[in-house]
Structure 1
Amino acid sequence: MSGKYYAPTGGHPGQDQLLTDRAIFTDAYAVIPKGTMRDIVTSYLPFWENTRLWVIARPMSGFAETFSQYIMEVGPGGGSDQPEADAGAEGVLFIVEGTATLTVAGETHLMEPGGYAYLPPASGWTLHNTDDAMLRFHWIRKAYEPVPGLDTPDVIVTNDRDVPPTVMPGTDGKWATTRFVDPTDLRHDMHVTVVTFEPGAVIPFLETHVMEHGLYVLEGKAVYRLNNDWVEVEAGDYMWLRAFCPQACYAGGPGKFRYLLYKDVNRHMNLRIGGTR
């Protein structure tokens, strides 16, 4: 863990900038480059003070359907005592810049860059920026899928620097995943991890699987294979993949290539369109 995380700052390009960029939207994947995250596309939420956000993923029929992902920007003194309006929604927070004061389950946590929090549904959490600097963090939301006989997951608050990465077998440490949740804990129906590649490391085959993905590049650059295309990505870019989109990558160097990864896991497939599983 190098401790560097890219965070957008907004702004607006000048009239002399070319229109050509790397933004792509297909029926299998989307690439939302950092240059598209401007002031003109920010949103606001009820009950959040001095806060704006970029929505970089939302459930879409026929595309990725299980999650939403925001990049939140909270100014000094901002935050919310009613952050989550959906009592059935679980969430993950990942801090990329500034300091967050999170209160959940009767405890208050000071979260710095690299800070991770898993927030189960109806956990009644609050979050504020009590610092003088801007706070920026990812907020990933999913409708929790309860299973009879399994308890709701516990709150988890930790930091990227405090969780040893799990090295992928046969890679000599060149490809590793920081797992904040035990993969065998079936109470969880989503995982948010940090994936790290050393310069030149690869995903050596086209992954093709049922899990949907959101991949936000925290650091470095790479060439990513998405469906039939090779695309260049760098810190601040976002890749949004529907189920079964083939994917692989080469890490470009000179430093580490790291991204925040969402995927849905550990539940039966819905066999009734528009119904429950």
Structure 2
Amino acid sequence: MSYPKDLLTSSTVKELLSSRSIIEPGKYALITPEGLVNNIIPGFENCIISILASPKLGASFVDYIVTMQDGGKNMEGFGGQANIETFVYVIDGNIKAAAGEQEFILEESGYLYCPPGVKMYLENLRNGQSKLFLYKKKYRPLEGRKPWVYSNHADHIDYEIYDGLHNVHIKDLLPADLDFDMNFHILSFDPAASHPFIETHVQEHGAYLLSGQGMYNLDNQWVPVQKDDYIFMGPYVQQAAYAVGEENLTYVYSKDCNRDEDL
């Protein structure tokens, strides 16, 4: 077998093509940053966007990683349909986020939730890049309940002990209220800390790793993970993690909650 000369002598390819990404549609996925491509999405200007999870993968939601360049924005609005809720978390940068007429200045760890019927507007305020974790999902209504616009900074929320473990901590980013059919959390493992057991549950997760390295059990397969990886976990997929190295393994993730299952 022969190969094109320009491929063999390329100065940009240093080794055989390889990837840590693992895709098991409907079950789980590990998506690493080096394999992401740009998706053109109407309304976003001067933004590099990759769709991470979607119904095509088996998720009931859509997750995005958005890198806003100088002048990056979405002034047409994101979401806003009568049955679509949205959420944005600032991984790094400084943005102006609006929920309809309400405006919020969000720096690193800042976030905004928009309920169904409320459009989200985004604008980069930094002279450089701002990096966002973006989410949308169909809202599951509950009689007599209605979510509301909510914004905060995760740095303003104290960590709580997770499941009785002194070396694993969690933050809840949205109110623990039946008006919301989902929540976002930040989970942080001290070096060598782990889940207390391998979880198996109906809830889905979409998780973006903010720091550290570790091993993650996905469907009883242990795989290495690190900062800037993305993990999708489908219903009933076995899952657990432990941190390795000298830095906390920390990630922000979504979880559907507060609703019964339909028949």
TM-score under structure 1 length normalisation:
0.86
- In the TM superposition, 1:28-107 aligns within 5 A as 28-37=27-36, 41-60=37-56, 64-85=58-79, 87=81, 88-107=83-102
2:120 corresponds to 1:125: yes
Deviation track 1:13-63 (CA, whole Å, cap 9, x = no partner) reads 9222322221111252111112212xxx11121122212201110013xx6
- Cα 1:224–1:241 change in 2 (3 A) is same
Name the structure 2 match of 1:23.
21
| Cα distance in structure 1, aligned partners of 2:254 and 2:86 | 11
Deviation track 1:51-109 (CA, whole Å, cap 9, x = no partner) reads 2201110013xx63311100112222221222225512111101012111112253321
TM-score under structure 2 length normalisation:
0.90
2:213 corresponds to 1:221: yes
Measure how far apart 1:205 and its partner are.
1.0
Query: How many pairs does the alignment contain?
Result: 251
**1:203 partner SS:** coil
| Cα distance in structure 2, aligned partners of 1:208 and 1:123 | 34
2:143 corresponds to 1:162: no
**1:204 partner SS:** coil
Q: If you compute each CA radius of gyration, which structure gives the higher value, 1 or 2?
A: 2
**1:102 partner SS:** strand
Name the structure 2 match of 1:257.
249
Name the structure 2 match of 1:233.
225
Unaligned runs of 5+ in 2: 1-10
Unaligned runs of 5+ in 1: 1-12, 272-277
Measure how far apart 1:150 and its partner are.
1.0
Name the structure 2 match of 1:275.
none
The structure whose residues are more often strand, as a share, is 2
| Cα distance in structure 1, aligned partners of 2:21 and 2:121 | 34
**2:164 partner SS:** coil
| Cα distance in structure 2, aligned partners of 1:262 and 1:14 | 36
Percent of aligned positions that are identical: 29
Query: Contact 1:64/1:212 (CA < 8 Å) preserved in 2?
Result: no
